[in-house]
Structure 1
Amino acid sequence: RLRAVLRAFKAAGLTLKPSKCRFAYGELKFLGHVVSAQGVSPDPAKTSAVAEFPKPSDKKAVRRFLGLCAYYRRFVRDFAQISSPLTHLTKDDVQFQWGEEQEQAFDELKRRLQSPPILGHFDQSAETEIHTDASNTGLGAVLVQRQEGAERVIAYASRALSKAEQNYSTTDKECLAVVWAITKFRPYLYGIPFRVVTDHHALCWLSNLKDPSGRLARWSLRLQEFDVTIVHKSGRKHNDADCLSRAPVESPPDSSDDDDDARFLGAVTDADMGALQRDDPELRAVIDYLEGQGSSVPRVLARDLPSFVLQRGVLFKKNFGASNPAWLLVVPASLREDIFQACHDDPTAGHLGYSRTLARIRDKYYWPRLPKTVHLYTRSCHECQRRKRPPTKPAGLLQPISAPTTPFQQVGMDLLGPFPTSAQGNRWIIVATDYLTRYAETKALPSGTAVEVAKFFVESILLRHGAPEVLITDRGSSFLAQLTQEVLRLSHTSHRRTTAYHPQTNGLTERLNKTIADMISMYVDVEHKTWDEVLPYVTFAYNTAAQETTGFTPFELVHGRKVTTMLDAMLPHEPVEDGCDDAHAVSQRAEEARQLARLRIHDQQRVDARRYNLRRRDVHFQPGDRVWVWTPIRRRGLSEKLLKRYFGPYKIIRRLGDLNYEVLPDGTRPSARRQPRPEVVHVVRLKPYYER
């Protein structure tokens, strides 16, 4: 058997790590389950958490308990039916009130998960059946096989019907149960013959329809890829799936398990539509008025009253704004969610924005306050919020870092690379720049470790220019390492870190990186092996070039004199003076130059901020606000252009000035054992979270 398993892995091209393999075990624990020769069952160590779960005191606790139980719902027959008193409590429009029904459901789920059945292993060669059934509220299915002469349950499944699906005829509901169950268990069923057992005799002809149309045609096509036989079994002998179908659930089914046709209104007849319209209080008032049975109409509809008409018992509204005037169906509140799904969420609608979604709906449908409801729906769309950037100016005004008063009082530092390994074994460049004089210190490094960073700080900054008051870096591991932090502590240097994914905070150093790289590229050899030999020369060139902002060279502002180059020695360009200035005069001129440079930096920062802020918004959040956080990710094998950009929701924990905030994932419990560390996020990465 082991040889057969290893051959299967080899044929599939899979690689196994011996340290993670277990051989000759009677049973194994895997992802919260115990797998043995007898079958699959929940891990008792995991289900003990259910047994020890305290009685919920609010809706959040109920949701946590149901989420914990739902992981093992495949082992609990009638799971949804048992849990229905608890799921009812979690609805937004239901007040939390713990009663006898909830207590019984709570205890029963605990009991069931303490002694769950052992579900069988699926055997492709065994006789396979799916038992399906549909009720007025849900669908149920049981995957069973006949193994060693006995019927063995492989898995249970159930889900609720959407509002549109509840309007289906009995035959359509039973047919939907068959199609949904086969789709649900497709990984087991594809490529093998199997039977579907149903208590609805009319379904036996589904796969033999001569001329199917509409929904039945689409369902019939779905079954063409399967080797399926549909057989009838009376309801009295069909209790397993029947019980599951009567299990109400709180939320709509996942799109992967749901039938696409549930989002369309083709199943709603004129009589059904008229009845649904009369169930809507606002629309009923209009219908009563048109039938002469009422005189008062809601103010929101009174203005359009002359444009309403009843046809075949269904309320329509004249669309006078269209190029070809047409009648619009007046949609009751109970069906608007289905309209939104079809006109916004569905692939044929494309998750487009407010204007296009509104235009698509207005072309055929009408209901009161339509623009407002479309705005609220599109704004609160979870998928749109995760992907799309706000259609307004980016958040966050520019707040320049004030220029220091003395050289190397405030220093920015960064690592540039990796580069191709040079002849001397170097791969990185560490760069430091002074925020007043713009003077740069650089060094080629074999690695970007904390040891190299700390050594550079001591030798090139501390021993050459003195200890800076402030060091600004990104959040690289070398700068956050304990060794680096200890060196900074001993030198009494305050360490300021940029926020993640926002290097503009250390913009001066980032700009220097680009300049250094551009200069090196002009002199490096074709194999890019001599870049570290060129580095000292281009750094000298940078330090002796006049800065556009200050009007001085960094060398002059640091050393108090102009640099003398080899060209100056060969071609003297200044007359020889009889005397020379005293040290005080030289020092005074250097200090005046630095103060002038500081004023010029300040003036340029004001100009830059004014220009930058024209394209920005001043946005503020408050503690407790829920937000999305923009986080660029890359996943091997996936297109970066198609990945979601925003993650969350997160909750604002603390405001750190005008631009930075501390956030935590929403729902984090203060008493959690492994409390996550708050993340500091720049406001440009945040956008409001809108809940539906």
Structure 2
Amino acid sequence: HFTQAFTAAFQPVNPSIKARDRLAALKQLKSDKLYFQQAPLKGHDVILGRKWLSAKNPSIDWTHDHVIIKHNGTDITLPQFPSSPSLPTCNLLSARQIKKSLKDPTAQFFLCYLHQISQSLSIPPSPPVSNDPPEIQQLLSEFKDVFPSDLPPGLPPKRTVDHRICLQPGSEPTVRATYRMSTAELQEVQKQLEELLDKGFIRVSSSPYAAPILFVKKKDGTMRMCIDYRALNKITIKNRYPLPRVEELFDQLGEAKIFSKLDLRSGYHQVRVADEDIEKTAFRTRYGHFEFLVLPFGLTNAPATFMSIMNDIFRDFLDRFVIVFIDDILIYSKSLDEHVHHIRQVLTRLRQHRLFVKQSKCEFARSSIPFLGHIISHNQLSMDPSKVKAVQDWKPPTSIKELQAFLGLANYYRKFIQHFAAITSPLSNLLRKTEGFHWGPDEDKAFDATKQALTSSPTLALPNPSLPYTIWTDASSVATGAILCQDQGHGLQPLAFDSRKLKPAECNYATHDREMLAIVHAIKKWRCYVHMQPVTVLTDHCTLQHFKSQPHLTPRQACWMEYLEQYVPELKIEYRAGCLNPADSLTRPPPSQLSAIGTVTWDENFISKFTKGYRRDSFYLSSAPTHKSVYYESPFWYKTDSHAICVPANRKLRHLLLREHHDQNAHFGVDKTLAAISANFFWPRLSRDVRSYVRSCHICQCNKARNAAPYGLLHPLDIPELPWSHVTLDFITDLPPTASHHNAILTIVDKLSKMAHFIPTSTTATAQHTAELFFKEVVRLHGVPSVLISDRDSRFLSRFWQTLFNRLGTKIRLSTAYHPQSDGQTERMNRTLEDGLRACVNACQNDWDLHLPDIEFSYNNTVNLATGQTPFYLATGQNPRTPSSLVHSPTRDTAATAFLSSKNTVIATARASLLRAQRRMIQYADQHRRDIHFNEGDQVLLSTANLPLLQEGLTRKLAPRFIGPFTITQVLSPLTYRLKLPSHINIHPVFHVQLLRPYHQPPSHFPSSSKPPPPPMFTPSPDLSEVENILAHEDTCNGTYYLVKWRGLDEPHNLWIHESGLQYAQRALTKYLASRTAPRTSATPKLYSCL
């Protein structure tokens, strides 16, 4: 092909050159060897490149438009440019010549119209050169019928959906007068009416409806005739068919690389109006009354109808490789071959449904394409500059309506704009009904800032559903902000920005709740992305890391927790410093500029300590001058990277700095103290020294809250073998007095069967009276228990109580001080009983003792979740008869052996159930506890949470949380320890490990930083054996008993205590023995003497 084309192009310049010379030259050229690369050239066979031009060195004759090649002295020319066509000439003929020509049978005659022209004819324009790939051009050529220059005449076919106009019941036909128009507009009306009539889209009407017409200018400058259907739309029942959200459409494009866009030609005119509704589309003009047979512009339900048709047509393509918004179609693919196949499928579907496309508005196989006001490219989304350009010339609004129009545009692009809520806050405030429209400097500044943000917004990445999401959040006192990000192989990239103003009530939230509100709002905003996806939230509020494990939640926080667990169960909250949080700028204005009002200089004594320290430190004497990590600038050595002052190895100097930055700085924790020191000073192992110093600070140990899990793993009591062998007792006090003068309840619970007895009593009941109640209500029915478990109530510590049950062979187990969990069963029972009483008592709350028998029966006849049986059944082997159970009573008695076997089986099953429940309880409880062990001689601090204050006027909020240190004198169990308490603390010295904290001595390499303990602020509780005085004593065969007067209690509470129980009341005992004037008594309780 090259040889033929090249040979045919030669034309000799000099006619005198012989033909054989030209042929020889052609043969010579023909024998050249040239190498070409295949390419889709437009209208050319070959292109001769620079290599050939350098070898032949042709010359260009611009006058004759020739390229001349010399070969063996011969000029060979190639025509380079096409010559301009000559103007057509018109010769005038006389009448005689025409008459003569008519007689010629071979002559042909044509009728032509001549128009005078004022300028010469130009070269006819060549068809536009397409930039589409050859595959696309071939495809468009194949589907030329889908791209007509205009809609074909005639009505479109009947589709699955024709446009319906359903009116509200009782509506009258709407009639409106025509609008006045200019001459140019009237001419346009005539022209468009003719076109619509010729195409069959409208017809002459006699409808009772009549709407006026108006014109809207198109982008290309032409006028579109629209019908003012506002009156008709007002009485039309709205079609709620959903239009897709633009954000959701873009979410489908994450991995696409090639895009094509189709725009239907007059899309509405390709949909028919239902026959029964044609008359409602009628419109009037100066030239007549007409009605539409196809869907006109301006009807309220037109977008819904068209969207419904498009979804029906492309339903199996949607969100796979096609997205549709009314008459705009976007095709997206990952490769060109795949894209060609997708376009073919779409065009085939359009051909099948006789839908036509306007080719001039289409774009094919683009890597970047405008769509719905955005620029879409591979994994990126940005605003369309052509849409935003109008914002630059937008004048400041002069009314609420103009402001709403501006904010409407800005809000459409708010996902691109950082701190949108903060920027537009002054403008959005003007939309409040309580605010008037007052445009001032703040509004003008916000208006300009919004325009600047719209014209300089970043490019966003498109989401990839297969990758996890990251959300940065932050909150200030006025707004919340968030950034949705994703790492798609190039680090975290923003997918969307969001911010909003806080409501007035939300501004009052605590900092923790405002920061959590920012997270919840971000999850709600982007739920369509993060629903059931792994999400990491990065916040600059440290405590939010533990939100999901927070033991106590407010009702508001509980609602948030429930929402997050429902939609984002894999949510992970991590801490990032505020300076690293990009969302921080979404909620906070830039900092104000400050100027210095004074200067501070170093103290001379302080400088001298450094100078002496440098002289005694070998590093600064020898190595430092050549070391790159430090430099000297009188009078200090400085760290090269942080410019912090280097502190020499002087214990007193470093201790001074630690004390200044910790003790004199509100005793902050390790992190804050370390940050305060390292901002200005440095020495090796600074972090270790700060941690050791703060950990051993006496004031911090006594006053700082314990943030770690409580000490001590769960060690539940053994499960008894038989019912009513292990019994627990407790009192419910502070109840309103009843008519029977009861104001307390004695609760007694069997540890195996969980059967309970609720006995009304009084707070003034003595140990003897309590014992009488126990024998009457428990021993009478169930016998004497082998183990009795109770708290440290003074009645249970009395000589009477102790002697009574020692004689009966019952072991008494008392809970440790301030740890009611030791008798957790009775404590839980008390709560259940209180809940039942609340539901039964009268308005005066003075009849609660009358309801105790009913509540006791109901409780004992209810299945216990731990045992799986009712307490009645476990204790007696059968359930009590009730009216409902009589219907199902057996007709014959069960054999005795079967009864006993069943009872033993049930008890064994209950014990197994209790063991399983106990193991589950241990497993769950130990997840929130820490195991710790102390040894004899260890020093610990004692919690003051349960110690009453020494004097009135003091507040527990400012009192130390711990006192001590105290030495452990005996390890009673892994959970209980006996302490050596000072003489003024006359309480039972055995404590649960949860009330203790290890005491850390000051490190040896620092001078002692311990301070003397503060003056006593607490006094022990009367319930914990605080002896005021000893009144009498009695010698028995079991030892000596003393009559004890308790501090703060009156005479009825005086108790007999064995001498072994007074080892921590030595002061009162010594005082009593020294006096020896107290009368001896032989009086003993009546019940004890009877036994």
Shift of 1:329: 5.0
Shift of 1:364: 1.0
2:656 pairs, out of 328, 338, 346, with 338
Structure 2: which amino acid aligns with 1:311?
E
Question: Hey, what does 2:621 align to over in structure 1?
Answer: 288
Shift of 1:317: 2.4
Correspondence 1:29-178 to 2 at 5 A: none
Deviations 1:244-295 (A, max 9, x none): xxxxxxxxxxxxxxxxxxxxxx89645x445323443786323322787xx9
Question: Aligned pair 1:522/2:839, yes or no?
Answer: yes
Q: Are 2:709 and 2:928, in contact at CA under 8 Å, matched by a contact in 1?
A: yes
CA–CA distance in structure 2, aligned partners of residues 291 and 691 of structure 1? 35
Shift of 1:480: 0.9
SS in 2 for 1:662: strand
Structure 2: which amino acid aligns with 1:446?
S
1:316 pairs, out of 638, 641, 647, with 638
CA–CA distance in structure 2, aligned partners of residues 676 and 443 of structure 1? 32
Question: Aligned pair 1:463/2:780, yes or no?
Answer: yes
CA–CA distance in structure 1, aligned partners of residues 955 and 843 of structure 2? 32
SS in 2 for 1:591: helix
Q: Residues 413, 556 of structure 1: CA spacing in aligned structure 2 closer, same or farther, 3 A cutoff? A: same
Question: Aligned pair 1:439/2:755, yes or no?
Answer: yes
Shift of 1:491: 1.5
Question: Aligned pair 1:600/2:913, yes or no?
Answer: yes
Task: Choose between structure 1 and 2 for higher RCO, CA contacts under 8 A separated by at least 6 residues.
Answer: 1
1:663 pairs, out of 979, 1004, 1007, with 979
Q: Are 2:636 and 2:645, in contact at CA under 8 Å, matched by a contact in 1?
A: no
1:477 pairs, out of 763, 787, 794, with 794
Deviations 1:420-445 (A, max 9, x none): 11111101000010010000011110
CA–CA distance in structure 2, aligned partners of residues 477 and 282 of structure 1? 68
SS in 2 for 1:444: strand
Using the size of structure 2 for normalisation, the TM-score is 0.35
Correspondence 1:394-413 to 2 at 5 A: 394-413=710-729
Structure 2: which amino acid aligns with 1:687?
R
Question: Aligned pair 1:327/2:670, yes or no?
Answer: no
SS in 2 for 1:628: strand
Task: Determine what percentage of the aligned residue pairs are the same residue.
Answer: 30
Shift of 1:677: 7.8
Question: Hey, what does 1:171 align to over in structure 2?
Answer: none
Shift of 1:690: 0.9
Shift of 1:314: 2.5
Q: Are 2:817 and 2:988, in contact at CA under 8 Å, matched by a contact in 1?
A: no
SS in 2 for 1:480: coil
Deviations 1:226-249 (A, max 9, x none): xxxxxxxxxxxxxxxxxxxxxxxx
SS in 2 for 1:479: coil
Structure 2: which amino acid aligns with 1:582?
A
Q: Residues 678, 548 of structure 1: CA spacing in aligned structure 2 closer, same or farther, 3 A cutoff? A: closer
Structure 2: which amino acid aligns with 1:590?
K
SS in 2 for 1:496: strand
CA–CA distance in structure 2, aligned partners of residues 677 and 547 of structure 1? 37
1:686 pairs, out of 979, 989, 996, with 996
SS in 1 for 2:915: helix
Structure 1: which amino acid aligns with 2:760?
A
Structure 2: which amino acid aligns with 1:408?
W
Question: Hey, what does 1:541 align to over in structure 2?
Answer: 858
Q: Residues 282, 367 of structure 1: CA spacing in aligned structure 2 closer, same or farther, 3 A cutoff? A: farther
Shift of 1:558: 0.9
Shift of 1:316: 2.6
Q: Residues 464, 281 of structure 1: CA spacing in aligned structure 2 closer, same or farther, 3 A cutoff? A: farther
Q: Are 1:397 and 1:613, in contact at CA under 8 Å, matched by a contact in 2?
A: yes
Structure 1: which amino acid aligns with 2:888?
H
Structure 1: which amino acid aligns with 2:933?
H
Question: Aligned pair 1:566/2:883, yes or no?
Answer: yes
Q: Residues 675, 600 of structure 1: CA spacing in aligned structure 2 closer, same or farther, 3 A cutoff? A: closer
Correspondence 1:361-376 to 2 at 5 A: 361-376=677-692
Q: Are 1:439 and 1:555, in contact at CA under 8 Å, matched by a contact in 2?
A: yes
Question: Hey, what does 2:609 align to over in structure 1?
Answer: 276
Q: Are 1:453 and 1:479, in contact at CA under 8 Å, matched by a contact in 2?
A: no
Deviations 1:56-115 (A, max 9, x none): xxxxxxxxxxxxxxxxxxxxxxxxxxxxxxxxxxxxxxxxxxxxxxxxxxxxxxxxxxxx
Deviation larger for 452-461 or 588-597: 452-461
Correspondence 1:382-421 to 2 at 5 A: 382-421=698-737
Structure 2: which amino acid aligns with 1:474?
D
Q: Residues 492, 291 of structure 1: CA spacing in aligned structure 2 closer, same or farther, 3 A cutoff? A: closer
SS in 1 for 2:617: helix
Q: Are 1:654 and 1:661, in contact at CA under 8 Å, matched by a contact in 2?
A: yes
CA–CA distance in structure 1, aligned partners of residues 636 and 616 of structure 2? 11
Shift of 1:378: 0.5
Shift of 1:688: 0.8
Shift of 1:459: 1.5
Structure 1: which amino acid aligns with 2:770?
V
CA–CA distance in structure 2, aligned partners of residues 518 and 366 of structure 1? 61
CA–CA distance in structure 1, aligned partners of residues 680 and 770 of structure 2? 66
CA–CA distance in structure 1, aligned partners of residues 808 and 613 of structure 2? 73
SS in 1 for 2:671: helix
The structure whose Rg is larger is 2
Shift of 1:627: 0.5
SS in 1 for 2:875: helix
Question: Hey, what does 1:351 align to over in structure 2?
Answer: 667
Question: Aligned pair 1:556/2:889, yes or no?
Answer: no
Shift of 1:493: 0.7
CA–CA distance in structure 2, aligned partners of residues 449 and 549 of structure 1? 34
CA–CA distance in structure 2, aligned partners of residues 437 and 587 of structure 1? 16
CA–CA distance in structure 2, aligned partners of residues 639 and 375 of structure 1? 30
Q: Are 2:644 and 2:678, in contact at CA under 8 Å, matched by a contact in 1?
A: no
* Count of matched residue positions in the alignment of Structure 1 and Structure 2: 399
Shift of 1:399: 1.2
CA–CA distance in structure 2, aligned partners of residues 614 and 626 of structure 1? 27
CA–CA distance in structure 1, aligned partners of residues 624 and 957 of structure 2? 56
1:499 pairs, out of 782, 807, 816, with 816
Question: Hey, what does 2:944 align to over in structure 1?
Answer: 631
CA–CA distance in structure 2, aligned partners of residues 480 and 281 of structure 1? 66
Question: Hey, what does 1:532 align to over in structure 2?
Answer: 849
Using the size of structure 1 for normalisation, the TM-score is 0.55
More helix by share: 1
CA–CA distance in structure 2, aligned partners of residues 282 and 624 of structure 1? 43
Structure 2: which amino acid aligns with 1:617?
R
Q: Residues 462, 282 of structure 1: CA spacing in aligned structure 2 closer, same or farther, 3 A cutoff? A: farther
Shift of 1:380: 0.9
Question: Aligned pair 1:487/2:820, yes or no?
Answer: no
SS in 2 for 1:566: coil
2:629 pairs, out of 307, 316, 331, with 307
Q: Are 1:478 and 1:484, in contact at CA under 8 Å, matched by a contact in 2?
A: yes
CA–CA distance in structure 1, aligned partners of residues 749 and 807 of structure 2? 21
- Cα RMSD of the aligned pairs, angstroms, is 2.5
